[in-house]
Every structure is written in C-alpha cells, then in structure tokens.
Amino acid sequence: MDSLIKDIVNSVTGTEVTVDEQQVQSLFHQIAPNLAILCVRILVAIILWLVGKKLMRWLNNIVDKALIHYHANDTMRAIAGGTIKTIGYALILLYIARIFQLPLTPLFTILGSIAIGVALALKDYLANLAGGVILICLTPFRSGDYIIDEHGHEGTVTRVGMLYTILMTLDGKTIFVPNSLLTKDCVTNVTKEGRRRIELKIGISYESNLKRAKEIMEEVIGKENHLEDPPIQVFVGELEEDSIIVQAYFWTTVDDYWPVLRDIKEKVKDAYDKEGISIPLPQVDIRLLHQAD
C-alpha cells in the first residue's frame, strides 16, 4: 500500500517523494474511525429519508381519504397534502442535521431572518392565503353559491382557490376576488338556504280596479313554480304621484329564481291588458292660460 501511494504521488508531482510508513499508518488510524462513522451517518440519513417519505405518503393517503369521506373540496385536500409534506420534510431535515451534528442555532437564525423578510414582502399574498384557508375551513359559501360582497362583486362561485375566489357573473364575466376581502368584509350568500324570495312591483293607474289587480297578480303567481311556505303576499307597496304600486312577495327555489323572475312580469302585464287594467306612463299636465283682450 505504501509503495502504491508513493508511485501515485511521484507520477503526479514528477519528483521523487519518500513516504514514511509509520506516518501513513498513523494517518490511516486517525481517518479510519471517522470515515466509518461518516459512512454510518450517511447510511442512517438515507434510511431516514426513505422511511420518512414513505410515512408522509401513508399519512397523506389517510388524510386524503378522510377529507373525501367528508366531501372536502380539491383546494382543502391540496392544502392538507402540502402541509403534511412541508412539516414532514422539515422534520426529516432537522433529524438529518442532528445526525451529522450540525450547529442548528445559526441555521435557525438565518432562516428566521429570511422568513421575516419574505413575510413583509409577501404580506398581501399571505393575507389572501390565510383568507383562503379560513374560507375553506369555515365554508361560508361553496362552489355554485351566488354571493354579493360589500365592494359590489357578485356572481356564482366557481372555485375557492388559495389566493382568489373566482366568480362567474350573469353576463359571463369572470371575477377574481382576493380572499382577504371576503374574510374581513360582509358577504351575502344569496343561495345558501336553497330558496330565494322574488319581489315583484308593478304600477297601475288610479282609475284601475285595485282589488282585481291584486287578485290577478296572485292568480298568475300561483301558476308559476313557487313554494307554498311562506304563502304569497300581495299588497299595495307605494302610492306614487301617477300610479299605485302593487307589490308581491313569493318564494321559489334557487334554480327557478331567474326563469320565474323573467316570465312573471310579462304574464302579469298580459293579464292586466286583458282585464283593462292600465299601467300608466309618466305624464305632465299642461294648462294654457289665455289673457282677455
């Protein structure tokens, strides 16, 4: 072995080098234990990494099946899976660092400083991320619900994402609402109860038969898709300058709301025309005063 080391050194340096056999043996005896310990630590670290990944996969499958059983959406399942992986890899790396006896205090200090800087730079995104977690966990609304927020955004929820909630408006527009706005402000969930109240207002002239107008409105509404409870309410809403506002409240299902709302006004108008009940237009009376010659 000594001759082999000597030949290698001589070939590299091009000079004759003498090797002290006693020094080589001493150096070998010093390195050998540390090298063996290093190999063992590397082997343990590899085993820990493989076992840790397998445990994370097993735990992730259990949690994912539980979330599917409780009808959790895809976003919540993704958050749960990402959280398990993040915590799992952090623990594995921490134990590997301890195996190699690395100093952890300076590492934690550096990581803490980096985390503070990143948090300050991405505070708006982190606020939206936290809002997304809150919306997914508390579920004030779900995909398919029609919501209205304080900023005038309204539409059908198509997806609750990590940073934004996506709404589809009635005219086909897509709105991306930051989750932080939906968690800190008031949000009206119009369709959560599965039914909606329709408010119908139609003005008739003062010369028309008010009682008959109310009867006709109630008859027309009764033929539409509506809920029996609460019952239909027809009453005089307002007395305007040129018309009497006949108003009605009745309830229908969420799916029937827009079709009924679109049809009911036309049918009431046709029924009023057949009964001779007029819907007045705004008018102005003009009087001409003639002065005597």
For 242, the enclosing helix (H) or strand (E) is none
Cα distance between residue 234 and residue 249, in whole Å: 7
Can you give the pLDDT at residue 158?
93
Cα distance between residue 57 and residue 218, in whole Å: 62
Torsion of CA 74, 254, 193, 201, to 10 degrees: 140
pTM comes to: 0.60
Can you give the pLDDT at residue 33?
66
Cα distance between residue 147 and residue 154, in whole Å: 6
pLDDT means over runs of 10, the chain (293 residues): 52 51 59 74 90 92 87 76 86 86 78 79 82 85 90 91 90 93 91 90 91 93 82 91 91 88 90 90 70 57
Contact assessment for residue 233 and residue 266, using Cβ atoms and an 8 Å cutoff: no
Cα distance between residue 247 and residue 50, in whole Å: 71
Cα distance between residue 57 and residue 282, in whole Å: 72
Can you give the pLDDT at residue 283?
66
